[in-house]
């Protein structure tokens, strides 16, 4: 069974204080790892897809990295508008009838204070 664990559950940062969010996963065969951002009362917004260990992707102040066991979302010099819940999900290689289903972690709630 695929499993995703995110830590910490909640993180408070001061504006400009860089940090990292962790996503540990267990999957039979990783097809892809996804990061989403979710604002309160809204649907998740896609950020990154990582396909294989060693891969890195960046977008503005965010950088996602991937190893064989975990992924990190690094936030450099965050701003208050980066406050949101960040969700990690994995997609495993499965039979054709399983499609592209995702297994999600519970998320990390990030608050950036001005």
Residues that bind another protein (CB under 8 A): 4, 31-32, 34, 36, 41-46, 49, 51, 87, 89, 91, 97-107
| Residue 102 CB, nearest approach to another protein (Å) | 6
User: For 80, phi and psi rounded to 5 degrees?
Assistant: -55, -30
Task: Name the residue nearer to another protein (CB basis): 98 or 113.
Answer: 98
| Residue 17 CB, nearest approach to another protein (Å) | 26
90 HSE (CA, 13 A, CB side): 26
Q: Give the C-alpha separation, 89 to 87, whole Å.
A: 7
CB 27 within 8 A of CB 34: no
Max CA pair span of the chain: 48
| Residue 15 CB, nearest approach to another protein (Å) | 27
Task: Name the residue nearer to another protein (CB basis): 78 or 107.
Answer: 107
Task: Name the residue nearer to another protein (CB basis): 19 or 55.
Answer: 55
> Residues 21, 27, 30, 36: is their CA dihedral positive or negative?
negative
Task: Name the residue nearer to another protein (CB basis): 51 or 77.
Answer: 51
| Residue 78 CB, nearest approach to another protein (Å) | 23
């Amino acid at each position: 069974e695929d499993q995703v664990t995110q830590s910490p559950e909640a993180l408070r940062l001061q504006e400009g204080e860089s940090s990292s969010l962790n996503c540990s996963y267990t999957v039979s065969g990783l097809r892809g790892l996804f990061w989403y951002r979710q604002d309160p009362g809204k649907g998740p917004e896609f950020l990154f897809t990582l396909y294989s260990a060693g891969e890195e992707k960046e977008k503005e102040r965010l950088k996602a990295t991937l190893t064989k066991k975990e992924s990190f979302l690094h936030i450099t010099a965050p701003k208050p508008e980066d406050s949101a819940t960040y969700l990690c999900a994995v997609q495993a290689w499965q039979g054709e009838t399983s499609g592209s289903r995702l297994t999600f972690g519970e998320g990390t709630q990030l608050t950036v204070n001005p």
